[in-house]
Structure 1
Amino acid sequence: MSEQQQPVFAIEKIYVKDLSLEIPNAPNIFLERDTPEINLQLGTKSQSIDDGLYEVLLTVTVTAKIKDKIMFLAEVQQAGIFRIRHVPDGDIDPILGIGCPNILFPYLRETVSDVVTRAGFPPVILNPVNFEAIYHQKRAETNAN
């Protein structure tokens, strides 16, 4: 008698893989009173690191500018190691592209806010992200090519 094994999804580790902060126009930029323009770039990627183990990386680059001067540039790579076993192959990609980034995002948001605050600026609070929409958009672009 063969018994179907139950699907396994577990968080093995959540960690900051890379963290960078630049304030190229310090100290004068702290004297500026204008409201900065904030630009965000967000990306995800994943890789298999062992049988049933995957690393998912969520990267955000936050650039704050006042006119043509960069106020600060912060980049955070929030990563996680996830154990995924006994899941149909067609379901692994959505788990890595939607489920895991949703788990990592609150940690990423906290890290960005903390590092920007520690640099002497008001916190940057990242708005929620719809990783499902991003995943489906990437799939549509890949299928179109």
Structure 2
Amino acid sequence: MSETEGNGAAAQPPQVKMQILGQYIRDLSFENILVRKGAQGEVTPDISVQVALDARKRPTDHQYEIITKFTINSRNKSDNAQLFLLELEYAGIFHVENVPEEQLHPFLLIECPRMLFPFVRRIVSDMTRDGGFPPLNLEPVDFVALYRQEIARRAQEAQQQPVGNA
């Protein structure tokens, strides 16, 4: 039997469907500590960015809410004085179909945040600029590495829990 004979389409898995139904700011906070306390000498910012992710199933079939949480802390390198603190929770509602069950969790916490990231980057840039600082252009986030770190952290946490009678 040649490759063109028979129905080869039956062997292919269904096409993955992903659609962003909506996206929004769940929570946003920006504190300009430098202005309140005043600058003492030269200011050289040291910026740390922490990212946390969450995925929740919605009551509607195939719909998920993905929440990206960014905590951005800027401190002065010379005296470690805090310059600003930005906290942003940005969420998206996604319709996702035809992703195998064993791949759904990584898909939701890697691909969906990747789709939201350009909007997060713009909000952070606008907030820092509007807050009195040069616009902060976030470096791309490696959501695959972030996912792997979280899985490793959970595995280590599970190993450290004592096994006992409950």
TM-score bracket, normalised by the shorter chain, equals 0.7 to 0.9
**In structure 2, what residue type is equivalent to 1:90?**
E
**In structure 2, what residue type is equivalent to 1:81?**
I
- Corresponding position of 2:142: 130
Richer in strand (by share): 1
Gaps of 5+ in 2: 1-9, 159-166
- Corresponding position of 1:55: 65
- Corresponding position of 1:88: 100
Alpha-carbon deviation of 1:143?
3.3
1:1-145 paired onto structure 2 within 5 Å: 6-29=15-38, 33-50=42-59, 51-66=61-76, 67-144=79-156, 145=158
Aligned sequence identity (%):
34
Note closer, same or farther for the CA distance 1:29–1:71 as it changes in structure 2 (3 Å cut): farther
- TM-score normalized by the length of structure 1: 0.87
Alpha-carbon deviation of 1:28?
4.9
Gaps of 5+ in 1: none
Alpha-carbon deviation of 1:6?
4.8
Alpha-carbon deviation of 1:8?
2.4
Cα offsets for 1:18-37 (capped at 9, x unmatched) = 11011234245367532111
Alpha-carbon distance in 1 for matches of 2:155, 2:129: 41
Choose between structure 1 and 2 for higher RCO, CA contacts under 8 A separated by at least 6 residues: 1
Task: Specify the structure having the higher radius of gyration (Cα).
Answer: 2
Note closer, same or farther for the CA distance 1:112–1:30 as it changes in structure 2 (3 Å cut): farther
Cα offsets for 1:91-129 (capped at 9, x unmatched) = 211111110111111111111110010011011111111
Alpha-carbon deviation of 1:11?
0.7
Alpha-carbon deviation of 1:137?
2.4
After TM superposition, the runs of 4+ consecutive aligned structure 1 residues lying more than 4 A away are 3-6
